[in-house]
Amino acid sequence: MGLLAALGLVAALLVTAAPRLADGYADAGLRADVNRLPHQVRDVTIAVAMRPDRPGTAAAGQTSLDGFAEALPQPLPALVDRRWYAAALPEEQLRATGDEPPMNGGAVKNIGLRAQTGVPEAAELTAGRWPRTPGGGAAELAVSAAVAETLSLRPGTRLRLAGPQGVAQAQVVGVFTARDAGDHVWDDLRLALDPLVPVADGDPYLAGAVTDWTGLDLVSAASGVAADHSWRYRLDERRLDTSMLAEVTEAVTHSRRIEWVPESTVQTSLDSALSRFADQLRTVRALLAVVQAGLIASVLGLILLAARLAVRRRRDELALLRARGAALATIGGRTLAEAALVQPLAVLVGVLIGSRVPGPAHGLPWLAVLLAVSTTAVVPVLAMVAHRRVATVTGRSDVVRQRPSVRRLTAEASVLMLAGLGVLLLRRRGLDTAGGVDAYLVSVPVLVALAAALVAIRLLPWPLRLAGRFGARARGAVLFLGVARAGRGAPVALGPLAVLIVAVSTGVFGAVVTTNVSAARDRAATLTVPADALLTGYSFAPDAGAALTEVSGVRAVARMWVDSNRRLLSGTEVGARSFGQARVLVVDGAAFAEVVARSGVDVDVPAALRTAVRADTPVPALVSTQVAAELDGAAVADVQGRLYGFRVAGVVDTFPGVGLGVERFVVLPWQALTEYAYAPIVPNRYLVAGDDIDRARLLAVADDAQRRRQSDVLGVEVTRPELPAALETWRAYRQSLARTGANEVLTLTFTAGAVGGTALALLAVGFTVIADAAGRGRMLSRLRTLGMSAVHGRRLLVYELVPLVVVAAVVGTVVGALLPRLLGPTLGLSAFVPDVALPQRLDPLVVGGVLALVVLGLVAGLVVESLVNRRQRLGEVLRLGEENG
* 126-169: pLDDT as tens digits: 999 999 988 778 899 999 998 998 888 899 889 988 888 888 88
Q: Both 532 and 487 in a single domain?
A: no
SS3 readout for 513-535: HHHHHHHHHHHHHHHHCCCCEEE
With residue 49 as reference, give the H or E element that holds it: strand 44-49
Q: Both 228 and 262 in a single domain?
A: yes
In this structure, is residue 31 part of a structural domain? no
Q: What pLDDT shows up at residue 165?
A: 85
Q: Is the pLDDT of residue 506 over 70?
A: yes
Q: How far is CA 833 from CA 251, 514, 519, 737, in A?
A: 29, 12, 10, 8
Q: Both 345 and 436 in a single domain?
A: yes
Long-range contacts of 283-286 (CB under 8 A, 24+ apart): 283/431, 283/742, 283/827, 283/828, 283/829, 283/831, 283/832, 284/22, 284/26, 284/742, 284/745, 284/746, 284/749, 285/22, 285/433, 285/437, 285/745, 286/431, 286/432, 286/433, 286/437, 286/442, 286/828
Q: Is the pLDDT of residue 437 over 70?
A: no
Read off the pLDDT band of 488 (50, 70, 90). Answer: low
With residue 863 as reference, give the H or E element that holds it: helix 844-872
* 258-309: pLDDT as tens digits: 888 888 889 999 999 898 888 888 878 877 888 888 888 888 888 888 888 8
Amino acid in position 802? V
Q: What pLDDT shows up at residue 283?
A: 78
Q: What pLDDT shows up at residue 121?
A: 92
Q: What is the mean pLDDT of residues 472-500?
A: 67
In this structure, is residue 272 part of a structural domain? no
In this structure, is residue 274 part of a structural domain? no
How far apart are the C-alpha atoms of 156 and 168, rounded to whole Å? 16
Lowest-confidence range among 522-526, 559-563, 637-641, 707-711? 707-711
Domain termination residue (choose one: 267, 302, 332): 267
How far apart are the C-alpha atoms of 174 and 193, rounded to whole Å? 14
Number of domains the chain contains: 3
Domain termination residue (choose one: 267, 287, 318): 267
Domain termination residue (choose one: 684, 702, 736): 736
Beta strands in 512-669 (DSSP E): 533-536, 554-569, 578-587, 619-624, 635-639, 642-652, 665-669
Count of residues in the chain: 885
Q: Which range has the top average pLDDT, 71-75, 299-303, 477-481?
A: 71-75
Q: Both 259 and 284 in a single domain?
A: no
| Other CB atoms within 10 A of residue 629 CB | 10
For residues 809, 813, 819, 821, the Cα torsion angle rounded to the nearest 10 degrees is: -160
Domain containing 9 equals 2-22+279-523+739-880
Q: What is the mean pLDDT of residues 390-413?
A: 66
Closest CA to 481 of 762, 766, 879, 786: 786
Q: Both 507 and 586 in a single domain?
A: no
In this structure, is residue 32 part of a structural domain? no
Q: What pLDDT shows up at residue 143?
A: 93
Cβ contacts of residue 407 below 8 Å, gap of 6+?
none
Helices (DSSP H) in 674-824: which residue ranges?
A: 695-714, 730-739, 743-771, 773-785, 790-823
Read off the pLDDT band of 884 (50, 70, 90). Answer: very low
* 177-219: pLDDT as tens digits: 999 988 999 999 989 998 887 766 667 888 999 999 999 989 8
Q: What pLDDT shows up at residue 114?
A: 92
In this structure, is residue 391 part of a structural domain? yes
How far apart are the C-alpha atoms of 433 and 425, rounded to whole Å? 14
How far apart are the C-alpha atoms of 301 and 318, rounded to whole Å? 24
Amino acid in position 677? A
Q: What pLDDT shows up at residue 885?
A: 39
Read off the pLDDT band of 729 (50, 70, 90). Answer: very high
Read off the pLDDT band of 354 (50, 70, 90). Answer: confident
Read off the pLDDT band of 455 (50, 70, 90). Answer: confident
Q: What is the mean pLDDT of residues 603-628?
A: 88
Q: What pLDDT shows up at residue 494?
A: 67
In this structure, is residue 885 part of a structural domain? no
Read off the pLDDT band of 882 (50, 70, 90). Answer: very low
Q: Is the pLDDT of residue 877 over 60?
A: no
Q: Both 731 and 762 in a single domain?
A: no
In this structure, is residue 30 part of a structural domain? no
What 8-state DSSP symbol labels residue 798? H
Total-model pTM: 0.77
Q: Is the pLDDT of residue 77 over 70?
A: yes
Average pLDDT, the chain: 82
Q: Both 284 and 244 in a single domain?
A: no
Cβ contacts of residue 822 below 8 Å, gap of 6+?
423, 427, 448
Q: Is the pLDDT of residue 521 over 80?
A: yes
Q: Is the pLDDT of residue 660 over 50?
A: yes
Q: What pLDDT shows up at residue 101?
A: 45
Q: Which range has the top average pLDDT, 304-308, 459-463, 760-764?
A: 304-308
Contact of 560 with 687, CB cutoff 8 Å: yes
Q: Is the pLDDT of residue 401 over 80?
A: no
Q: Both 606 and 707 in a single domain?
A: yes
Closest CA to 872 of 883, 857, 861: 883
Does residue 670 or residue 825 have the better pLDDT?
Answer: 670
Cβ neighbourhood burial of 723 (10 Å; 0-12, 13-18, 19+): middle
Q: Which range has the top average pLDDT, 317-321, 440-444, 686-690?
A: 686-690
Distance of CA 60 to the CA centre of its chain: 46
* 767-811: pLDDT as tens digits: 777 766 666 666 777 776 666 676 776 777 777 777 778 888 888
Q: Both 101 and 193 in a single domain?
A: yes
Read off the pLDDT band of 477 (50, 70, 90). Answer: low
DSSP letter string, 122-162: HEEEEEE----PPTTSPEEEEEEHHHHHHHT--TT-EEEEE
Q: What pLDDT shows up at residue 742?
A: 74
In this structure, is residue 27 part of a structural domain? no
How far apart are the C-alpha atoms of 321 and 318, rounded to whole Å? 5
Read off the pLDDT band of 102 (50, 70, 90). Answer: very low
How far apart are the C-alpha atoms of 439 and 331, rounded to whole Å? 34
DSSP percent split of the chain into helix, strand, coil, nearest 5: 55, 15, 30
Q: Both 747 and 732 in a single domain?
A: no
Closest CA to 84 of 124, 123, 44, 142: 44
Q: Both 589 and 634 in a single domain?
A: yes
Q: What pLDDT shows up at residue 201?
A: 63
How far apart are the C-alpha atoms of 526 and 605, rounded to whole Å? 13
Q: Both 676 and 804 in a single domain?
A: no
| Other CB atoms within 10 A of residue 106 CB | 8
Q: What pLDDT shows up at residue 774?
A: 65
Contact of 350 with 12, CB cutoff 8 Å: yes
Closest CA to 186 of 84, 81, 67: 84
Q: What is the mean pLDDT of residues 73-97?
A: 90
Q: What is the mean pLDDT of residues 527-554?
A: 90
Q: What pLDDT shows up at residue 491?
A: 53
